[in-house]
Amino acid sequence: MKFKKSLVFIFVVAAVLVLSSGVMAQTYVVGTNASFPPFEYVEEGEIVGFDIELIKEIAKLQGFEVEVRDISFDSLIPGLASGSLDIVAAGMTITEKREEVVDFSEPYYSANQSVLVHEESDANLTVLFGNHDIGVQTGTTGDTWVRENLIQTDILTGEIRNYDSYVFVIRDLSNQNIDAAVLDKPVAETYSQNNPVQVVAEIITGEEYGIAVGEGNEELLAEINAGLEKVKNNGTMEKLIQKYFE
Ligand code: ARG
């Protein structure tokens, strides 16, 4: 009898624990811009990619849930500031300017910029000089690089064309509506696999991607860094790199 009672007690405690952990698991809203393959893109209506798997893995390891939202890239940082987003996982480069308004995790990927042109074009780096039209995604480091180095110096006398989505940059480049695009090299290379476009130059910018949270959200940042550390150490990071880049 005594044995039975303690058994019941253990079951009740276990049930309460299971239920409360289910109820208490935090859900964080993750913002991304899913036009950045292989980091984030839409496949059969679903947001997938390296960053999405990475943040889901971190969530699993640290015991929280995520809900991923696809919005324009230049709305991501304002979303963290306003509280409509908790986390940004978007191949976002850690920059000093962004550091002023959000907090970044430890870096998880390194990349440079690149110049993408039509596959039939014999252009090279000099497509960025003179009267050419260059496509960029609004608010990206590629956008800033073109403005600071080409527009403000009058090296580029054509137009800088701003887009919300890289899908439309690639479409306009494929249709030869623009002469070139400046974007992160791993993404340019991914697009060149399935579109009539080619990478003709690399611009060494030495960028590092980080996962961002709202300024001062130390608790969440610590969770993300702890998860990221585990992912780097338990072989998951290597598997993700193999899956998406090799
Ligand atoms: N790394 C560049 C930046 O931080 C481009 C990122 C674009 N990401 C995206 N998901 N569209 O500005």
How do residues 215-234 score in pLDDT, each as one tens digit?
999 999 999 999 999 999 99
Ligand 1 centroid to Cα of residue 76, in Å, is 10
213 contacts 220 by C-beta, under 8 angstroms: yes
**Does residue 81 form part of some domain?**
yes
Which band of pLDDT confidence, cut at 50, 70 and 90, is reported for residue 14? low
**Is 40 near ligand 1, meaning CB less than 6 Å away?**
yes
> How many domains, the chain?
2
Please tell me if the CB atom of residue 92 comes closer than 6 angstroms to any atom of ligand 1.
yes
Structure tokens at 227: 């998860």
168 and 233 together in one domain: no
- Please indicate, yes or no, whether residues 214 and 127 belong to a single structural domain of this protein: no
Per-residue pLDDT of 173-216, as tens digits, reads 999 999 999 999 999 999 999 999 999 999 999 999 999 999 99
Q: Which CATH number belongs to the domain containing residue 230 in this structure?
A: 3.40.190.10
Residue 32 in contact with ligand 1 by CB distance below 6 A: yes
Residue 32 lies in a domain: yes
Token pair recorded at residue 146: 């073109």
- Asked if 72 and 59 sit in the same domain, the reply is yes
Residue nearest to atom 5 of ligand 1 (CA): 140
Q: Which of 184, 185, 191 has most ligand 1 atoms within 8 Å of CB, for mutation?
A: 184
Provide the pLDDT confidence category of residue 9 given band limits of 50, 70 and 90: low
Residue 5 lies in a domain: no
Give the range of the structural domain holding residue 129, as residue numbers without chain letter.
111-207
Give the DSSP letter string of 87-142. EE-SS-B--HHHHTTEEE-S--EEEEEEEEEETT----GGGGSBS--EEEETTSHH
Ligand 1 atom closest to Cα of residue 98: 4
Judgement on whether residues 147 and 68 belong to the same structural domain of the protein: no
Residue 150, ligand 1, Cβ within 6 A: no
Residues 83 and 136 in one domain: no
Write down the pLDDT at residue 57.
Answer: 98
Closest-CA residue to 142 (of 80, 192, 201): 201
Please check whether residues 102 and 115 belong to one and the same domain: no
Q: Please state the atom number of ligand 1 nearest to the C-alpha of residue 166.
A: 11
Residues 84 and 158 in one domain: no
Tell me, yes or no, whether 3 lies in a domain. no
| E strand or H helix that includes residue 35 | strand 35-36
Q: Is the CB of 38 under 6 A from ligand 1?
A: no
User: Which residue's alpha carbon is at the smallest distance from atom 12 of ligand 1?
Assistant: 140
Query: 141 in ligand 1 pocket by Cβ < 6 Å?
Result: yes
* 69/190 same-domain check: no
User: Is the separation of the CB atoms in 197 and 214 below 8 Å?
Assistant: no
Is 236 part of a structural domain of the chain?
yes
Do β-strands 40-43 and 35-36 pair in parallel, antiparallel, or remain unpaired?
A: antiparallel
Q: Are residues 137 and 179 in the same domain?
A: yes
pLDDT digit string, tens, across residues 31-76: 999 999 999 999 999 999 999 999 999 999 999 999 999 999 999 9
